[in-house]
Amino acid sequence: MNADKTVLTEWTKKDQDRQNLHLQRILDRIHVKTKRQASSVVIFDLDGTLYDNRPRTMYILRQIADQFYDQMPQLVKAVENGEINKLDNYEYGLDASMARLGVTDENEIKLAKSEWSKRFFTDDYQQYDVPLPGAKKFVCDVYEAGATVIYLTGRDVNMLVGLTQTLRMCGFPVGVVGTMTMTKKDFNQDDGMFKDEVAAYLDRLGEVVGIFENEPANSNLFQKNFPGATSMFLLTQHRPDAPALDDGITPIRDFRILDL
């Protein structure tokens, strides 16, 4: 990894060994606590943490290109030349993704944005998200070890049905004893404030032993609130204006425990 701890450039055996060590440490700690009848809690963010949501945008843009064929020649071209299918073209923001796909016409951008936001934040399209490698297995291991699994997401409650369905479809434990899903009350609730409010609640719920996030601001906030937890940062995508990651938070690329 390079000096910026929030960006994945190269991945070495040393990085993988550290990822293995910290993931295993969380599981071991849960086992010890469960044996003593003590509670443990692990927090998983969804977008950019358990899930890669770029395929959701990819699917939506393909659909828009099809539906507005005559009005979107640049986007249609991205379908024809295959650029729309390359995940690497999808940046954190839709503007940057459109630029990479070769869509520069203002009217096309405006139409694509408006159609994209009608779809992206709804129940129906979350099924196109893809779990990160090892995510399902690790969450199942955490659950089976006896920790309470918390899905803590910036998605709002209007997306709850779709997100529950997608978690279940992908084999994550959801809706059963030992799991909890926390969404924002409404779309406009500030992400940071929401997670701050949640932190106070979680504190009363049990001992937080593991935290998984892909936004540096949230990672820093949780580490401050739960200094005893193993805090992991997913090297996926995050806001471009994010703060630096605080010391003591471990960057990981996915959820696999493996030998390189």
Q: Which span (10-18, 42-50, 127-135, 244-252) binds Mg ion, by CB under 5 A?
A: 42-50
The binder of Mg ion chosen from 23, 30, 48, 56 (CB under 5 A): 48
131 binds Mg ion (CB under 5 A): no
Query: φ, ψ for residue 105 (rounded to 5)?
Result: -70, 130
Residue 90: closest CA among 241, 255, 236, 254: 236
With 0-12 / 13-18 / 19 or more C-beta atoms within 10 angstroms meaning exposed / middle / buried, residue 213 is buried
**CA–CA dist 89, 36 (Å, integer):** 48
Of residues 79 and 245, the one with the C-beta less far from Mg ion: 245
Q: Taking the complex as a whole, how short is the minimal distance between the CB of residue 47 and Mg ion, in angstroms? A: 4
Measured between its terminal Cα atoms, the distance across the chain in Å is 15
Is residue 214 involved in binding Mg ion (CB under 5 A)? yes
Stretch that binds Mg ion, among 79-87, 138-146, 190-198, 208-216 (CB under 5 A): 208-216
Does position 129 interact with Mg ion (CB under 5 A)? The reply is no
Q: How far is the CB of 154 from Mg ion (least distance, A)?
A: 6
Question: In this chain, which stretch among 48-56, 83-91, 126-134, 239-247 interacts with Mg ion, using CB under 5 A?
Answer: 48-56
Minimum distance of Mg ion from residue 204's CB (angstroms): 24
Question: Tokens 């920790």 belong to which residue?
Answer: 147
Catalogue the long-range contacts made by 92-97 (C-beta closer than 8 Å, 24 or more residues apart). Answer: 92/237, 92/238, 92/239, 92/240, 93/240, 94/57, 97/57
Q: Applying CB under 5 A, does 52 fall inside the site for Mg ion?
A: no
Residues 92-121 as b/e (b if ≥16 CB within 10 A, e otherwise) read: eebeebbeebebebeebbebbeebbeebbe
Least distance CB 153 / Mg ion (angstroms) = 7
Which residue from 15, 45, 108, 129 is in contact with Mg ion, where contact means CB under 5 A?
A: 45
Q: Does 47 bind Mg ion (CB under 5 A)?
A: yes
Binding residues for Mg ion, per CB under 5 A? 45, 47-48, 214
